[in-house]
Structure 1
Amino acid sequence: MIPADTLVQLQDIFRAHGMTDPALQDCLMQALKLRDYDRDQLIIRAGERPTHFYVILSGVARYYYLSPEGRQWNKTFFREGQMIGSLSAHLKQQPCTYSIAAVERCRLASLPLAILSQQGERFPQLQQMQDLVTRQIMLRNEDREALLLTSNSEQRYQWLMEHEAWLLDRVPQYQLASYLGMDPVSFSRVKRRQDR
């Protein structure tokens, strides 16, 4: 049984993603499972074919790549109200190329990816949601790519302050450094200068 406050939160998130049809929301509610993840626990491991996508009810999650030497490169972060998973792996029917892990303790609503194909014809809003999420991810990735390729460290930190300041309170500095293409020492130095 889904707690009443969680039910309301899920309905709000579904509506925010264009899924307003009550029958579709009922279908999603019946298919989802609530899952808790501890800090640093893997949600999806690189190399696996994902079977679910998730709605973040509480907490922060990160996408990251792992180098052959074991170094982690943070790709992006998501928080409450956002959907996570590897849409590209699902669309290409291939293993995920990055891992997704909890940055802080997370409560997620887990939904099977199969629902997108099984119910897509019945509920066109599922395809619209997929299109919306794809568009958001594409625009976000393009902005970050431009930032990493054309900006210096100070400009990257300033961008973070202007566009994703919430990360500063919830994500460890070494992970933010990786996200902005810096080493932790450089990040700390830039942060000190900018915060004066």
Structure 2
Amino acid sequence: MIKEKGQVLLDYINKYVSLTEAEKDILLSKVTYRKYLKGQFIVQQGDVCKYECFVLSGCTKTFYMDSDGQEHIVMFSIEDWWTSDMGSFITQTPADYNVQCLENTELILFSYDIIEDLYAAIPKLERFFRQIIQRALVASQKRIVRRFSLSAKERYIYFRNQYPKIEQRIPQYMVASYLGITKEFLSKIKKELALK
């Protein structure tokens, strides 16, 4: 069972770097597999993020809770995506974000020490993780530009087209939070689009 789950990760990694059979065995010997229930937190604001997580199944949201108790969603993660508070994980300092499961979720977890060990044992993995982090940075920067340059309707259309599998799985108020608008305004945008 764990081997099958590990194969999903290996198939994903293989899109970026080729591992030998020996390297695959080393990697699989170091992974931790864990199930979380809907509503459970993988990391909470203020705690140090202990794991970089690969999503096998399920859906998570990454969000910041402001001092008024308002939730600001910055990311969703589904199958074959990564999730964590990257800044906290890399620096091993308190997390700015919460990562919470929106569905029962299965993850492969890498602790900070395990990733460092893997870099030493399999140097290719350092290149792999660098590529993943670079892609995440680019996506984050593009999202910031969209936030400033696109209207709310354009941001919603982009989200819907880019992430069709996510919209079907999450409540509309979370989509609105991610887009930086109210759920009422999102409802209005959806009605407008339905009329076209």
Question: Any conservation in 1 of the 2:51–2:89 contact (CA below 8 Å)?
Answer: no
CA distance in 1, matches of 2:92, 2:141: 23
For 1:112, the equivalent position in structure 2 comes to 111
Question: Any conservation in 2 of the 1:66–1:73 contact (CA below 8 Å)?
Answer: yes
Q: 1:47 to 1:24 in 2, by over 3 A?
A: farther
Q: Does 1:175 align with 2:174?
A: yes
For 2:100, the equivalent position in structure 1 comes to 101
5-14 vs 91-100, which moves further: 5-14
Q: 1:163 to 1:101 in 2, by over 3 A?
A: same
Question: Any conservation in 1 of the 2:49–2:94 contact (CA below 8 Å)?
Answer: yes
For 1:86, the equivalent position in structure 2 comes to 85
Q: TM-score, normalised by structure 2?
A: 0.91
Question: Any conservation in 1 of the 2:27–2:118 contact (CA below 8 Å)?
Answer: no
5+ residue gaps, structure 1, are none
Where in structure 2 are the equivalents of 1:24-173 lying within 5 Å?
24-173=23-172
2:25 is paired with a residue whose SS is helix
CA distance in 2, matches of 1:50, 1:98: 9
CA distance in 2, matches of 1:136, 1:21: 24
5+ residue gaps, structure 2, are none
Question: Any conservation in 1 of the 2:63–2:75 contact (CA below 8 Å)?
Answer: yes
1:28 is paired with a residue whose SS is helix
CA distance in 2, matches of 1:182, 1:57: 30
Q: 1:91 to 1:7 in 2, by over 3 A?
A: closer
2:121 is paired with a residue whose SS is coil
CA distance in 2, matches of 1:7, 1:137: 22
Q: Deviations over 1:17-73 (max 9, x none)?
A: 536243332222222222111222111111111222111000111110001111110
CA shift, 1:126, in A, is 1.9
Aligned residue pairs, count: 195
CA distance in 2, matches of 1:18, 1:195: 43
CA shift, 1:195, in A, is 2.8
Partner amino acid, structure 2, of 1:193: E
124-133 vs 65-74, which moves further: 124-133
Partner amino acid, structure 2, of 1:138: L
Q: Does 1:192 align with 2:191?
A: yes
CA distance in 2, matches of 1:8, 1:121: 22
Question: Any conservation in 2 of the 1:63–1:76 contact (CA below 8 Å)?
Answer: yes
Partner amino acid, structure 2, of 1:68: S
